[in-house]
Amino acid sequence: MVDRLKFLLHRTRERLWVRPLITGLLSVALVFLVKTADDHDIGWLVPAITQASTETLLAIISASMLVIAIFAVASMVAAYTSASSVATPRAFSLVIADDISQNALSTFIGAFIFSIVALVALQNNFYDRAGRFILFVITVLILAMVIITFVRWVDCIARLGRLGSTLEKLEAVTAAALRRRRRIPTLGGVPMGRQPHRGLAIYSGSIGYVQRIEITALQAHAEKAGLHIQVAALPGTFSAPDRALAYITLDPGAPLDFDPTPIVQAFVIGVHREFDEDPRFGLIVLSEIASRALSPAVNDPGTAIGIIGSFVRLLALWITPVESDERCIVECDRVTVPELSLHDMFDDAFIAIARDGAGTIEVACKLQKAFASLASLGDVAMREAATRHAGLALARSELALALPDDLEMIRRLAALALSDQPSLTEG
């Protein structure tokens, strides 16, 4: 339930209208809440505030906040457009979920609505002495909050949508997804291992990407119907009418007329892939940005080299041992789930860069150094994947590079990843 709420919360964060709506409703409620001060006999305790002074402040806020809110929306749209064009459209959901920008926009709109409603209430003598004083204090606090928010937001909007900021967000969200999958490698189910899928295939009528799997819902249905479920489509898999989501095997004596609908409903399918529970998607998006940077139109090998460094950090994180108190125990013994393939993650990360950067000597060198670093981490599967991709990258470079000295440099660096005891000279 907690994971499901987090998933829904992340989807809500990607909606720009949610926070301004909540802030606007709270602003209206605050205006009427101030009236409760007049219900208590505290008017003689507070100083007398003239109605004109509060009206002046509210008028200033109402006149300026709408302009600032429009300016904020225009700046945010420009930043979103920049992120989609400079990086990749797949990073749009991360940029739009920026907390500082959404909080700033919500503050500006909330202050505007508060000032309008409070000004109307004040001009209609809605408040007595205590209410006017409390309203004046709240108005001053809101004005101060707006100023602080605006100053902080200006610093943020200068970076929002820039390539460096987008890459930082992508690496952070991918690392978070990898950490979560390391703690729950089979999403709470039983490890599948290398056994092939068997049983009756369950298909979905929806076409899209698997965004989330409700493993507990599958377990509950399996216990009720007397069957075992093998998950065949992890988050990130493209679901089509001919692509099985799961396979089921019935317990001896279980009724044959079971309903597959609860199994299909446990797979949340949407139009787009999501970063939360799909670590491979983050690797793919980073690789897309690197491939774009290596295109002749952009010609920015430095960005590709920086992303290669991100891949080394992310893949090293993947094989970091998990503490016993962090690893999630298997709770769904009737659901079998395959683990992520490290070889697939290497393919997601490095194939496009090795292809597009094969003829760029600095990128090709950085790739071979990255493979040597990953091969030296002491993990067998990691070494196998790094060695395979070092050989592939070397073969591509041999086809793309013409200068013998460049080829000799690449071959020397590739030997570090292909040798039995790799070492690395970073540069």
201 vs 322, residue with greater confidence:
201
Quote the mean pLDDT of the chain: 86
Least confident of 2-11, 225-234, 239-248, 278-287: 2-11
- What integer is the mean pLDDT of 329-346? 88
Report whether 144 contacts 63 (CB < 8 A): no
Mean per-residue pLDDT, 188-202: 84
CB 328 within 8 A of CB 183: yes
Predicted local distance difference test score (pLDDT) of residue 328? 65
Distance CA 267, CA 270 (A): 10
Cα distances (Å, whole numbers) of residue 61 to 68, 127, 139, 140, 235 = 10, 19, 9, 10, 47
pLDDT at position 280: 94
Higher-confidence position of 8 and 167: 167
Backbone phi, psi, residue 330, to 5°? -75, 120
User: Of 147-151, 160-164, 301-305, 308-312, which range is least confident?
Assistant: 160-164
Are the CB atoms for 399 and 354 separated by under 8 Å? Answer: no
Per-residue pLDDT band for 70 (boundaries 50, 70, 90) equals confident
- Which alpha helices (DSSP H) does 14-128 contain, by range? 18-33, 51-82, 92-96, 99-123
Helix pair angle (361-375, 404-418), 10° resolution? 10
Q: Which residues pair with 274 in a beta bridge?
A: none
The pLDDT score that the predictor gives to residue 424 is 45
The pLDDT of 229-235, averaged and rounded, is 92
pLDDT band at 423 (very low <50, low <70, confident <90, very high): very low
Q: Backbone phi, then psi, for 5, in 5-degree steps?
A: -65, -40
Q: How many residues does the chain have?
A: 427
| Across 113-142, average pLDDT | 89
Question: What pairing do the DSSP bridges indicate for beta strands 244-250 and 335-337?
Answer: unpaired
Reply yes or no on whether the pLDDT at 353 is more than 90: yes
State yes or no: pLDDT of 359 exceeds 50.
Answer: yes
Count of CB atoms within 10 A of residue 9's CB? 10
The answer for residues whose C-beta is within 8 angstroms of residue 106's C-beta and 6 or more apart is 19, 20, 22, 23
- The predicted model gives 57-76 an average pLDDT of 87
The DSSP output letter for 39 is G
pLDDT of residue 72 exceeding 90: no
Q: Amino acid identity, residue 64?
A: S
Sheet holding 190-191, edge to edge: 190-191, 335-337, 227-231, 244-250, 200-203
Is the predicted pLDDT of residue 103 greater than 80, yes or no?
yes
> At residue 285, does pLDDT exceed 90?
yes
| Single pTM value for the model | 0.81
The upper half-sphere exposure of residue 85, i.e. CA atoms within 13 Å in the direction of its Cβ, equals 7
Q: What is the largest CA-CA distance in the chain?
A: 92
